[in-house]
Amino acid sequence: MEEKGIQISKEDIKTVSEHTRTVSIEKGTTFMKQGVPVKRLYFLISGTVRLYVDHRTHQTTMDFISWNEFVSTFVYVQNEVPSAVALDALTDVTALFWEKDDIIFLKKHTKVFNDIENVMLDALLQWNLQREIDFRNLSPEERYLKLYEIQPRVVQQVPLKYIASYLGIHQDSLSRIRKKIIMKRA
């Protein structure tokens, strides 16, 4: 947390620990459903999840979230807002979690939870802006290479259909891009 400018006092560590639980989520589990009020804020300790929108005829992958990241938002949990997205565990996942009452208590009694919320909101805004810039300015091949550079584990572990959806292309196009990259490196 210190790399994000968040200082945690010993007292805050104790208070947060008392209100934190751990959960194991099996690969393939949908643990946040689109259209259903969000009940928990998660922090991934291990594993990878897929954030997506489920349309009637297809799904659009919005992002892949791996260890050492928060999943969901304080606003959704506090206000019990129905989720606009769904979350699936692509691998077995271990996560810390907090429910609404925990979050309200921790925001009232610790500085660190308010700081975390601010960092999360800033990161979400930056992610949205960068994603928009990338879609407007980078080719699918460049977006794939960027994903590979930033999240190599995702490219190695996640089914191609989800990566193609994330890139905004058909799976056949992704196969051609991957083949082209291999040919360039050979």
Q: Model confidence over 23-57: pLDDT tens digits?
A: 999 999 999 999 999 999 999 999 999 999 999 89
Cα gap 8→10, rounded to integer Å: 7
53 in Cβ contact with 166 (< 8 Å): no
- Name the CATH superfamily, with its identifier, for domain 9-137: Jelly Rolls (2.60.120.10)
- Residue 158: CA count within 13 A, CB half-sphere: 29
**Per-residue pLDDT tens digits of the chain, which is 186 residues long:** 555 667 778 898 899 999 999 999 999 999 999 999 999 999 999 999 999 999 989 999 999 998 888 888 777 888 888 999 999 999 999 999 999 999 999 999 998 888 888 888 888 889 889 999 999 999 999 999 999 999 998 999 899 999 999 999 999 999 999 999 888 887
Closest CA to 33 of 11, 5, 59: 59
Phi and psi torsions of 33, nearest 5°: -100, 140
Return the bridge partners of 44, or none: 95
Cα gap 177→116, rounded to integer Å: 38
What confidence score (pLDDT) does residue 80 get? 85
CA torsion sign for 146, 151, 156, 157 is: negative
Cα gap 101→118, rounded to integer Å: 19
Contacts of 22 (CB under 8 A, 6+ apart): 45, 94, 95, 96, 97
Cα gap 60→68, rounded to integer Å: 24
Cα gap 177→144, rounded to integer Å: 8
27 in Cβ contact with 90 (< 8 Å): yes
Closest CA to 79 of 48, 41, 111: 41
51 in Cβ contact with 65 (< 8 Å): yes
pTM: 0.85
